[in-house]
Protein backbone atom coordinates (compact mmCIF):
# COMPACT_ATOMS: atom_id res chain seq x y z
CA UNK A 1 0.00 0.00 0.00
CA UNK A 2 2.81 2.42 0.89
CA UNK A 3 4.55 1.73 -2.41
CA UNK A 4 1.34 2.43 -4.34
CA UNK A 5 0.86 5.69 -2.42
CA UNK A 6 4.46 6.74 -3.01
CA UNK A 7 4.19 6.00 -6.74
CA UNK A 8 0.93 7.95 -6.93
CA UNK A 9 2.55 10.95 -5.22
CA UNK A 10 5.53 10.73 -7.54
CA UNK A 11 3.65 10.14 -10.80
CA UNK A 12 0.69 12.47 -10.27
CA UNK A 13 2.72 15.69 -10.70
CA UNK A 14 4.38 14.24 -13.83
CA UNK A 15 1.00 13.26 -15.29
CA UNK A 16 -0.39 16.70 -14.47
CA UNK A 17 2.65 18.30 -16.13
CA UNK A 18 2.22 16.13 -19.22
CA UNK A 19 -1.47 17.07 -19.52
CA UNK A 20 -0.99 20.79 -18.97
CA UNK A 21 2.13 21.43 -21.03
CA UNK A 22 2.27 20.98 -24.77
CA UNK A 23 5.23 18.88 -25.95
CA UNK A 24 8.17 20.60 -27.56
CA UNK A 25 9.99 19.09 -30.51
CA UNK A 26 13.70 19.56 -31.27
CA UNK A 27 12.99 22.78 -33.17
CA UNK A 28 11.46 24.34 -30.06
CA UNK A 29 7.97 24.50 -31.59
CA UNK A 30 5.04 23.64 -29.36
CA UNK A 31 2.41 21.19 -30.63
CA UNK A 32 -1.19 21.14 -29.47
CA UNK A 33 -2.33 18.08 -31.46
CA UNK A 34 -4.62 15.34 -30.24
CA UNK A 35 -2.15 12.49 -30.55
CA UNK A 36 -2.14 11.13 -27.00
CA UNK A 37 1.28 9.51 -27.38
CA UNK A 38 2.79 12.88 -28.29
CA UNK A 39 0.72 14.77 -25.71
CA UNK A 40 2.09 12.69 -22.84
CA UNK A 41 5.75 13.25 -23.69
CA UNK A 42 7.58 15.10 -20.98
CA UNK A 43 10.66 17.16 -21.68
CA UNK A 44 13.04 16.82 -18.78
CA UNK A 45 15.63 19.54 -18.33
CA UNK A 46 18.56 19.21 -15.95
CA UNK A 47 18.77 22.14 -13.53
CA UNK A 48 21.30 21.12 -10.86
CA UNK A 49 24.83 22.40 -11.64
CA UNK A 50 26.28 19.57 -9.58
CA UNK A 51 28.31 21.38 -6.94
CA UNK A 52 27.27 24.20 -4.62
CA UNK A 53 30.35 26.41 -5.03
CA UNK A 54 30.03 26.10 -8.80
CA UNK A 55 26.33 27.01 -8.50
CA UNK A 56 27.15 30.07 -6.39
CA UNK A 57 29.68 31.24 -8.99
CA UNK A 58 27.25 30.54 -11.83
CA UNK A 59 24.56 32.60 -10.08
CA UNK A 60 26.92 35.57 -9.74
CA UNK A 61 28.09 35.30 -13.37
CA UNK A 62 24.46 35.36 -14.54
CA UNK A 63 23.88 38.53 -12.48
CA UNK A 64 27.03 40.17 -13.84
CA UNK A 65 26.12 39.31 -17.44
CA UNK A 66 22.58 40.66 -17.01
CA UNK A 67 23.76 43.99 -15.56
CA UNK A 68 24.67 46.47 -18.32
CA UNK A 69 26.65 48.49 -15.74
CA UNK A 70 29.09 45.62 -15.06
CA UNK A 71 32.66 46.89 -15.47
CA UNK A 72 34.33 43.79 -16.90
CA UNK A 73 37.77 45.36 -16.43
CA UNK A 74 37.24 45.05 -12.65
CA UNK A 75 35.41 41.71 -12.46
CA UNK A 76 37.33 39.08 -10.50
CA UNK A 77 35.45 35.79 -10.35
CA UNK A 78 38.62 34.09 -9.09
CA UNK A 79 38.41 36.15 -5.87
CA UNK A 80 34.93 34.74 -5.34
CA UNK A 81 36.23 31.20 -5.96
CA UNK A 82 38.95 31.72 -3.35
CA UNK A 83 36.36 32.98 -0.86
CA UNK A 84 34.19 29.92 -1.49
CA UNK A 85 37.24 27.73 -0.80
CA UNK A 86 37.60 29.56 2.53
CA UNK A 87 33.91 28.97 3.28
CA UNK A 88 34.28 25.26 2.52
CA UNK A 89 37.43 24.96 4.64
CA UNK A 90 35.83 26.68 7.63
CA UNK A 91 32.49 24.87 7.34
CA UNK A 92 33.95 21.38 6.96
CA UNK A 93 37.53 21.52 8.24
CA UNK A 94 37.59 23.71 11.36
CA UNK A 95 37.59 22.47 14.94
CA UNK A 96 35.62 24.59 17.41
CA UNK A 97 35.80 24.88 21.18
CA UNK A 98 33.09 26.93 22.93
CA UNK A 99 33.56 28.88 26.16
CA UNK A 100 30.60 30.48 27.95
CA UNK A 101 30.77 33.43 30.33
CA UNK A 102 28.04 35.42 32.07
CA UNK A 103 27.66 37.98 29.25
CA UNK A 104 29.55 36.41 26.35
CA UNK A 105 30.32 33.32 24.34
CA UNK A 106 33.69 32.64 22.74
CA UNK A 107 34.38 30.29 19.87
CA UNK A 108 37.99 29.18 19.58
CA UNK A 109 38.30 27.98 15.99
CA UNK A 110 41.35 26.08 14.83
CA UNK A 111 42.69 24.20 11.87
CA UNK A 112 45.86 23.22 10.07
CA UNK A 113 47.25 23.93 6.62
CA UNK A 114 44.99 26.00 4.39
CA UNK A 115 42.13 25.74 6.91
CA UNK A 116 44.04 27.98 9.36
CA UNK A 117 44.22 30.91 6.93
CA UNK A 118 40.61 30.38 5.87
CA UNK A 119 39.51 30.57 9.52
CA UNK A 120 41.42 33.79 10.07
CA UNK A 121 40.00 35.48 6.97
CA UNK A 122 36.41 34.34 7.56
CA UNK A 123 36.21 34.98 11.30
CA UNK A 124 37.81 38.42 11.22
CA UNK A 125 35.66 39.48 8.27
CA UNK A 126 32.48 38.20 9.91
CA UNK A 127 33.20 40.03 13.16
CA UNK A 128 33.80 43.25 11.26
CA UNK A 129 30.62 42.89 9.21
CA UNK A 130 28.29 41.76 11.98
CA UNK A 131 29.54 43.80 14.95
CA UNK A 132 26.50 45.57 16.43
CA UNK A 133 23.89 43.57 14.49
CA UNK A 134 21.20 42.03 16.74
CA UNK A 135 22.67 44.13 19.56
CA UNK A 136 25.69 41.79 19.70
CA UNK A 137 29.27 42.99 20.06
CA UNK A 138 31.62 40.79 18.03
CA UNK A 139 35.38 40.84 18.42
CA UNK A 140 37.84 38.55 16.72
CA UNK A 141 41.54 37.91 17.05
CA UNK A 142 43.93 35.70 15.14
CA UNK A 143 45.48 32.80 17.02
CA UNK A 144 48.44 30.67 16.03
CA UNK A 145 46.14 28.01 14.55
CA UNK A 146 43.04 30.00 13.61
CA UNK A 147 40.98 32.66 15.35
CA UNK A 148 38.93 33.44 18.43
CA UNK A 149 35.46 34.98 18.05
CA UNK A 150 33.84 36.52 21.14
CA UNK A 151 30.24 37.70 21.15
CA UNK A 152 29.02 39.86 24.00
CA UNK A 153 25.24 39.82 24.20
CA UNK A 154 22.27 40.17 26.52
CA UNK A 155 21.87 37.16 28.78
CA UNK A 156 18.64 36.10 27.02
CA UNK A 157 20.60 35.79 23.72
CA UNK A 158 23.34 33.54 25.09
CA UNK A 159 21.24 30.36 24.90
CA UNK A 160 20.44 31.17 21.25
CA UNK A 161 24.11 31.81 20.47
CA UNK A 162 25.11 28.57 22.17
CA UNK A 163 22.45 26.67 20.19
CA UNK A 164 23.56 28.26 16.92
CA UNK A 165 27.16 27.40 17.65
CA UNK A 166 30.03 28.82 15.67
CA UNK A 167 28.81 27.89 12.19
CA UNK A 168 25.26 29.07 12.91
CA UNK A 169 26.63 32.43 14.04
CA UNK A 170 28.66 32.61 10.83
CA UNK A 171 25.41 32.37 8.82
CA UNK A 172 23.80 35.29 10.63
CA UNK A 173 23.09 38.44 8.64
CA UNK A 174 22.39 37.04 5.16
CA UNK A 175 25.21 39.25 3.88
CA UNK A 176 27.05 36.45 2.09
CA UNK A 177 25.22 36.86 -1.23
CA UNK A 178 25.97 40.59 -1.36
CA UNK A 179 29.54 39.84 -0.31
CA UNK A 180 29.90 37.33 -3.16
CA UNK A 181 28.67 39.83 -5.72
CA UNK A 182 30.99 42.54 -4.36
CA UNK A 183 33.98 40.19 -4.56
CA UNK A 184 33.15 39.22 -8.14
CA UNK A 185 32.71 42.88 -9.11
CA UNK A 186 36.31 43.41 -8.02
CA UNK A 187 35.81 45.21 -4.70
CA UNK A 188 36.88 44.12 -1.23
CA UNK A 189 33.86 44.47 1.05
CA UNK A 190 36.08 44.19 4.13
CA UNK A 191 38.81 46.62 3.04
CA UNK A 192 41.60 44.10 3.65
CA UNK A 193 41.98 42.88 7.20
How far is Cα of residue 33 from the mean position of the Cα atoms in its chain? Answer: 44
HSE (CB half, 13 Å, CA atoms) of 132?
A: 2
Rounded CA-CA distance 160/154 in Å is 11
DSSP of 62-99: HHHHH-TT--TTT--HHHHHHHHHHHHHHHHH-EEEEE
C-alpha span between 34 and 26 (Å, rounded): 19
pTM (two decimals): 0.72
Q: Average pLDDT in the 161-180 region?
A: 89
What H or E segment, with its residue span, contains residue 115? helix 114-130
Instruction: Report whether 89 contacts 114 (CB < 8 A).
Output: yes
Beta bridge partner(s), residue 146: 110, 143
Q: How large a percentage of the chain has pLDDT more than 90?
A: 64
H or E stretch including 182?
A: helix 176-184
Output the pLDDT for position 12: 42
Residue 192, strand partner residues: none
Confidence grade of residue 41 (pLDDT, cut at 50, 70, 90): confident
Report which of 102, 192, 188 is spatially closest to residue 152, judged by C-alpha positions.
Answer: 102
pLDDT in tens, 71-113: 999 999 999 999 999 999 999 999 999 999 999 999 999 999 9
Amino acid sequence: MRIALALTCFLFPAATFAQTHAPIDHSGAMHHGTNSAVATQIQIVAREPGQSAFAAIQEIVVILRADPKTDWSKVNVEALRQHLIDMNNVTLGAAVKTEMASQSITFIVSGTGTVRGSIQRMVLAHAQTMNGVNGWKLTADKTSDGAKLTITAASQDLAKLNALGFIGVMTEGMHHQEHHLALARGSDPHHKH
